[in-house]
Structure 1
């Protein structure tokens, strides 16, 4: 009975902005936030700061980060140092920005007041990194796919920038996220279509790896959790965002305009707006959700 109750709560938390179609079925309203091709096909990120500004990489070209202020059009926020290309973005509680720099094998840190860019962590054994997630205590986790070999790794970066390999010999690790209570770490493998969950302790150690869900087709990219623990996954090639409950039930999918979503994040004044970056469109789409994001 308890499992059924929790699943019901999880389902209710993702029934956001809906309308009825001609058949009387409910569908989520997806809209464009930006025009097409404002960003390159390297569009990723995305992340929202405390002021509600949305940051997305590859504004106009790779190696940049764009900013979309509430109600305004995208503009350039910063150009990254030569040789650096941004991918996933996260903010810590102090408001500092961390960026996965996949060509430099770095995690960069950006001072939001001065726009000074520094190398927070560097590891030559990383193929990328690709996406990053942050625990409530400020520990970072990075996915590290090697696409040509269809393999990947998973790394931890502590608050001093020390890099530790958590697991090698995985599939193509891509999306990575931490549960709201900081006790679970989620990692997906794009080509293998697996979503894994680990137990996570306060020091950032992982254990008890389990398969949370396996998709039968399509790919996967970035992921984010809402405040009740549901996992929102960008389904690359499928043109949708899939929502999994903490127990691994597929409870909702949102059909997007574009086919290749690369990542998702929560924003808006109530943190209930979900922004999605679309590769082939070079644009950001959004839809409303009834549950706020965890961050």
Structure 2
């Protein structure tokens, strides 16, 4: 199938800090920094949007994920928090706070609610990797990596992927039942541009935003680039799956301040987690 992107939203309805994104069960898309920094925007499937939530003073969102119960979790990079949002009341609480974090950036979530967070230090070109066990207990998994950014769990929850933006590398780890990582190995390295957010489909292929290049790269579990989906704009920041069948991809594009979308062949892991697949 030919994957071609199109605009879901108008341009510049979000700031250049647009990130996230994540879909709820009803197919609404959420992304950070709608109209101004420190907010969450909600985009309906038809592309109409609204400022849905203003975060507490001092908090700015980056990655967004939902757990199976429907709660939203946000990486709050200015507050060094993982925030939890009750979707019915819009109450925002601190799920985890870790002052040792540089800035929690992107997050991945497992079926049991365990969260993994990337933690880059852009100035130093280094980064960390954290695990947040319910109810909000924070454990450092690895430190002094490159600029950790995109993070994702494989569909069988036996592998964890982390990329390093400045180093243009994607690493894979074995992940055991106790959320311990081992057998770190290089999945793929690129010679140009940068890497940002990434998500798995149900077959374990990674969809990775190539920041600066303006494409989403589909990468096999063996580290082969299978396809590149061209976007409008260059600074794509993150990607998620949604739609009624989980085969609609949504991409946040910072230099266009909006969301673009394309169809894929297989549903996303995040959608499959909703549907018990």
TM-score normalised according to structure 2 size = 0.96
Counterpart mapping for 1:176-215 below 5 A = 176-215=151-190
- Matching residue of 2:269: 294
Q: Secondary structure at the match of 2:256?
A: coil
* 1:37-67 Cα deviation digits (max 9, x unpaired): 0000110000000111100100001100000
How far apart are 1:72 and its partner, in Å?
4.5
1:221-272 C-alpha deviation (Å, 9 max, x unpaired): 0000001100000000010000111111111111111100000000111110
Structure 2, gaps ≥5 residues long: 271-277
Alignment partner of 1:102 is 2:77: yes
**Cα separation, 2, equivalents of 1:253 and 1:292:** 17
Residue 193 of structure 1 deviates from its aligned partner by 0.4
Question: Structure 2: how far apart are the matches of 1:223 and 1:71?
Answer: 24
What residue number does 2:274 align with?
A: none
2:214 is aligned with 1:239: yes
1-side partners of 2:203 and 2:45: how far apart? Answer: 26
Aligned partner (choices 155, 159, 173) of residue 134 of structure 2: 159
Q: Which stretches of structure 1, 4 residues or longer, exceed 2 Å deviation after superposition? A: none
**1:137: how far off?**
2.2
Higher radius of gyration, 1 or 2: 1
* RMSD over aligned Cα atoms: 0.7
Q: Structure 1, residues 45-101: CA drift from partner, whole Å, max 9, x if none?
A: 000001111001000011000001222411011000000000000000000000000
Query: Match of 2:53, SS?
Result: strand
* Distance in 1 separating the partners of 2:26 and 2:109: 19
* 1:191 to partner: Cα distance: 0.3
